[in-house]
Amino acid sequence: MTTDLDQLRTDLLASIDAAGSLDALDAVRVHALGKQGAVTGLLKTLGAMSPEERQATGPRIHSLREAVTEAIAARKATMERDALDARLAGETLDMTLPVDLPATGGVHPVSQVMDELAEIFADLGFAVATGPEIEDDWHNFSALNIPETHPARAMHDTFYVEPNTTDREIVDKWWNGPNMVLRTHTSPVQIRAMKAAGGTKPVRIIAPGRTYRSDSDATHTPMFHQVEGLVIDKGITMGHLKWTLETFLKAFFERDDIVLRLRPSYFPFTEPSAEVDVGFSIVNGKRVIGGAEGWMEVLGSGMVHRKVIAAGGYDPDEWQGFAFGCGIDRLAMLKYGMDDLRAFFDGDLRWLKHYGFGALDVPTLSGGVGA
């Protein structure tokens, strides 16, 4: 009996150790501890033993059962932990590895130009500001020195926004509030940026974004893009304006032979106002920016009107500034050579493939802002 029990213990522990899978381990468990199992069989023999025999053998059989039970539990825990470790190791994903899939999709020329503008003006210390596309008429007109009776309001071919309901309560509330328009230019962001700066700090922002006018032909679409520029500080002159525009246009068109001509003009929100022409030359029958064979108007600009400075919450006796506004779509056409603005917004994949930019080609001043 002694040797039988010792032998059985050794055999069982060896099989537990050798079990290569949870199924194999369970088979050992059934073989030892199941209803017909070897250890169970031994326990059953206790009943037929004499008390002395039972006292001598009983504890040894019980200890055998305990040892086998524990060994199975321990082996099972090890196997489960190993399986989990293997799974975790197999599922590891190194997020730092380079992606070798080709980049699909492309960047629209308008987005590309906006990125280029942000890059160029960031280098000059300008932040990017934004404002809502559905704007109230105070920000879009009145605060910019365009009062209700001003002819410029009519000139802008404004889209007015009305509630799309007959619910009297909503309609009444709507008409008691400010008139809402789709912003006709990015200039209202001037007011928002000044207000945000609180009337005490200098402001240096550009505001690229969508604008809307009821107009449509080869060079006009009802939705188009502008970029606004605004500097508010002390001691600002037109010299700062001209230097900034020249530096911007040289960086944007990536040419040193950019010549500017400031022509006296009128905008309600600037005094004095200037329209900015850029010199172009004719290359293979096409107009190319640079040189001075002819002049092309690209920008509106001027010194911020006292009333606009005041509407923005600044004291016009202390603070001056300059502003400019420019069509982004037009800039893209001049730089990248498209000649029909309407194609910009048709969503034709062939056009986008031809004029689009690589998704991962981010414009930088050192690498070249153009792609």
Integer CA distances (angstroms), 166 to 153, 159, 174, 180, 355, in order: 27, 20, 11, 18, 45
- State how beta strands 203-212 and 127-128 pair: parallel
Q: With CB under 6 A as the contact rule, which of the stretches 8-16, 132-140, 196-204, 298-306 interacts with ligand DAH?
A: 298-306
Q: Are 38 and 32 in contact (CB under 8 A)?
A: yes
Peptide bond into 109 cis (omega under 30): no
Closest CA to 10 of 67, 60, 62, 56: 67
Size of the site for ligand DAH (CB under 6 A): 11
Closer by beta carbon to ligand DAH, 75 or else 204: 204
d(CA 139, CA 137): 5
Smallest distance from ligand DAH to CB 349, Å: 31
Is the Cβ of residue 64 or residue 181 nearer to ligand DAH in the bound state? Answer: 181
Helix (H) or strand (E) holding 59: helix 51-90
CA 118 to chain centre: 14
Closest approach, Cβ 325 to ligand DAH, in A, equals: 2
**Smallest separation (angstroms) from ligand DAH to the CB of 273:** 6
Question: In DSSP terms, which residues pair with 279 in a beta bridge?
Answer: 295
Whether 268 and 305 have beta carbons less than 8 Å apart is answered as yes
Site for ligand DAH in 164-193 (CB under 6 A): 185, 187
Residue from 278, 323, 328, 333 binding ligand DAH (CB under 6 A): 323
Find the binder of ligand DAH among 75, 301, 320, 321 (CB under 6 A).
301
Token look-up 């960031």 returns: 122
β-sheet bridge partners, residue 205: 127, 230
Chain position whose Cβ is nearest to ligand DAH: 325
* Contact track, ligand DAH, 190-229, x by CB under 6 A: --------------------------------------x-
Q: How many angstroms separate the CA atoms of 317 and 324, rounded?
A: 21
Q: Which stretch binds ligand DAH (CB under 6 A): 85-93, 196-204, 247-255, 322-330?
A: 322-330
Residue 367 beta carbon to ligand DAH: minimum distance, rounded to whole angstroms: 30
- Of the candidates 23, 12, 37, the one whose C-alpha atom is nearest the C-alpha of residue 76 is 23
Which stretch, 3-11, 61-69, 295-303, 344-352, contacts ligand DAH (CB under 6 A)? 295-303
Cβ distance 363 to 111 under 8 Å?
no
Smallest separation (angstroms) from ligand DAH to the CB of 371 = 27
Q: If binding is defined by CB under 6 A, does position 158 make contact with ligand DAH?
A: no
CB closer to ligand DAH, 126 vs 357: 126
Among 126, 267, 280, 355, binds ligand DAH (CB under 6 A): 267
3-state secondary structure of 284: coil
- Pick 300 or 363: Cβ nearer ligand DAH: 300
268 lies in the binding site for ligand DAH (CB under 6 A): no
**96, HSE (Cβ side, Cα atoms, 13 Å):** 0
- The reply to whether 270 sits near ligand DAH by the rule CB under 6 A is yes
Question: Is 255 strand, coil or helix?
Answer: coil
Which residues of the shown chain bind ligand DAH in the complex (CB under 6 A)?
185, 187, 228, 267, 270, 300-302, 323-325
